[in-house]
Amino acid sequence: MTSPDARTLTDGFHLVVDALKLNDVATVYGVVGIPITDLARLAQASGIRYIGFRHESNAGHAAAAAGFLTGRPGVCLTVSGPGFLNGVVALANATVNCFPMVHIAGSSTRALVDLQRGDYEELDQMAVAKPLAKASYRVDRIEDIGRGIARAFRTAASGRPGGVYLDIPGDVLAQTIDATAGAATLWKVTNPAPGQFPSHEGVLRALELLAGAQRPLIVLGKGAAYAQADQHIRSFVETTGIPFLPMSMAKGLIPDDHQLSAAAARSLAMSRADVVVLVGARLNWLLQHGEAPHWSSEAKFIQIDIEPTEFDSNQPTAVPLAGDIKSVITALSAGLQRHPVICPDDWHAELAERRVRNAAGMARRLAEDPHPMRFHNALRPVRDFVRDHPEVYLVNEGANALDVTRNIVDMAVPRHRLDSGTWGVMGIGMGYAIAAAVETGQPVIAIEGDSAFGFSGIEIETICRYRLPITVVILNNGGVYRGDDGSPPGSDPAPTTLAPQAHHERLIEAFGGIGYHVRTPDELAGALAAAVTARCPALIDCELDPGAGTESGHLTNLNPRSALQPAPARS
């Protein structure tokens, strides 16, 4: 008989890793420290790839982007206390953007935290995360580690995806259990996001409404891109002939140069549409809450969303279609056989005329060649390169850098554009770029405003350490929005002014990457081709006119201005 002392034991660290592997986790993004350093070591030793970051927020953004790209929850690992708080920004952003991710953090012993005895990095982390995440759980016993991992993964991916926090105190990680008994507590989540079909009545009402529309429009949100129902959506668009308007992260779901794209006539399409189908898009600030004059006051909205509480959030929902996008689009397409929808030709003609006019205006802007460069002529070589290399992933953040890039650079492949998203968060750049490179193995171009780059710029060391095929392009006009904010009183620079004519390329050279400083579109074109082709870490600093750009980019209307002038400078 085997004595109890001869039994094989395992501990919480090993059970967490075993549960992650059982649920097909291939990569973990994080920052090590007390009490999770050994967890990262064991994950790496087990075959899980561990990508170590310099800041937890960037690791969390990477995990969220991985969730968007793969449809499976990305995993972020952080330390307790302040490290956990750093990661919460990404956790909240993932939840707002509906990206599935699981943020696992070590924490202090519960008995000490609950009596507020002043433990190392003491914080009730589960309580902090709860209002900012889709769900927040804590594992209090080693026997519940497998259950906690399964619960977190199921919650992150099911229904409307989002960020889930999983708290595992350090003393639970260190607990031991019989290895056989411990293995029996683990399980793999089966079908974490099962299909949800819409009601038959709703489908018929939607098709009837579309059949009677004179100016129908389909709006594709990033939820449509996440759904990976690409061919289903394209088939429905082409069968009905309804023009589509892609939101920024849905660009490429149907190629931007498709004849039914209304992107180049966005304002007209929105203001004139009488029946609008929202596919994975919400009537939030990005769509002006569905309000006039941006939209027709007579417009009727058909909304596809897996979360029923989203309906009627800003405008009446004429036809709510509750279900996952693939199931709903499949049902709508099947219904077309008995209830055909044909978009009127005069609506196509009206949009086509506006597209031609707007395209001519854009062509004139792109043909301009000011020196120093401004945003449009700086982005011309980027547009051309991405057009010729559709496999490249594009990450984009900033104010003017975001707005102008979105308008200029067309996408031909789904889920190849990642940007600031629903919250308009700055600082996602390097995390998103790293996740895109790690998860896909493809080259990544990150188009960054010089201000936005500063939020996550230190991660160029991470890019170099892992030798990732990422090229960072900084549109450097020397300021937040722009670099010519005048002469403020006193000796300090203006609030929106950054270091003038900074050479960001020297930062990546310090870590072994390749740096370029360019002043013309031709120089940028050459540097971009060389950097991406080499598939090695690179940074291109593009020197722009400090007067290029507008305050708040396209969101000037959201930026309140003081009714009083600033105090005059002292003489």
Q: Is the pLDDT of residue 528 over 50?
A: yes
Instruction: Give residue-wise pLDDT tens across range 383-432.
Output: 999 999 999 999 999 999 999 999 999 999 999 999 999 999 999 999 99
Both tokens of 415, joined, read 């889920």
Give me the residues paired with residue 176 across strands.
11
Q: What would you report as the CA-atom Rg of the chain, rounded to the nearest whole angstrom? A: 25
Per-residue confidence (pLDDT) for residue 571, from 0 to 100: 32
The CA-based diameter of the chain, rounded to the nearest angstrom, is 93
Q: Which of 70-74, 488-492, 503-507 has the lowest mean pLDDT?
A: 488-492
Per-residue confidence (pLDDT) for residue 565, from 0 to 100: 61
Domains and CATH numbers, the chain: 8-183 (3.40.50.970), 200-353 (3.40.50.1220), 368-485+492-552 (3.40.50.970)
DSSP notation for 265-301:
GHHHHHHH-SEEEEES---SGGGGGG-TTTS-TT-EE
**How much of the chain, in percent, has pLDDT values that exceed 70?**
97
Nearest alpha carbon to residue 544 among 320, 371, 310, 312:
371
How distant is the alpha carbon of residue 466 from its chain centre?
A: 22
Q: How many CA atoms lie within 13 A of 476 on its CB side?
A: 23
The residues, any chain, with a CB within 8 Å of residue 429's CB and separated by 6 or more, are: 395, 397, 446, 448, 452, 453, 455, 456, 472
Per-residue confidence (pLDDT) for residue 468, from 0 to 100: 98
Per-residue confidence (pLDDT) for residue 570, from 0 to 100: 37
Angle separating helix axes 375-388 and 400-408, nearest 10 degrees: 50
DSSP notation for 305-329:
ES-GGGTTSSS-EEEEEES-HHHHH
Q: Which residue has the higher pLDDT, 559 or 67?
A: 67
Backbone angles phi, psi at 109, to 5 degrees: -60, 130
Q: Is the pLDDT of residue 566 over 70?
A: no
Instruction: Give residue-wise pLDDT tens across range 232-263.
Output: 999 999 999 999 999 999 999 999 999 999 99
Both tokens of 535, joined, read 């598939």
Band (6; pLDDT cuts 50, 70, 90): low
Q: Which residue has the higher pLDDT, 214 or 549?
A: 214
CA atoms of 438 and 284, how far apart (whole Å): 32
Cis status of the peptide bond prior to 372, with omega within 30 of 0? yes
Angle separating helix axes 145-157 and 12-22, nearest 10 degrees: 40
Band (343; pLDDT cuts 50, 70, 90): very high
CA atoms of 442 and 417, how far apart (whole Å): 13
Per-residue confidence (pLDDT) for residue 568, from 0 to 100: 45
Per-residue confidence (pLDDT) for residue 351, from 0 to 100: 98
Per-residue confidence (pLDDT) for residue 491, from 0 to 100: 86
Neighbours of 562 (CB within 10 A): 6
* Whether 419 contacts 396, CB under 8 Å: yes
Cα first-last separation, the chain: 93
Q: How many CA atoms lie within 13 A of 70 on its CB side?
A: 25
Q: Is the pLDDT of residue 28 over 60?
A: yes
Mean pLDDT of the chain: 95
Instruction: Give residue-wise pLDDT tens across range 156-190.
Output: 999 999 999 999 999 999 999 999 999 999 999 99
β 163-169/216-220 pair status = unpaired
CA atoms of 510 and 407, how far apart (whole Å): 34
DSSP notation for 423-482:
TT-SS-HHHHHHHHHHHH-S-EEEEEEHHHHHHHGGGHHHHHHTT--EEEEEEE-SBSS-
Measure Cα distances from 565 to 56, 101, 568 in Å.
40, 46, 8
Residue 515, SS3?
strand
**DSSP code of residue 244:** E
* Whether 235 contacts 333, CB under 8 Å: yes
Instruction: Give residue-wise pLDDT tens across range 319-340.
Output: 999 999 999 999 999 999 999 9
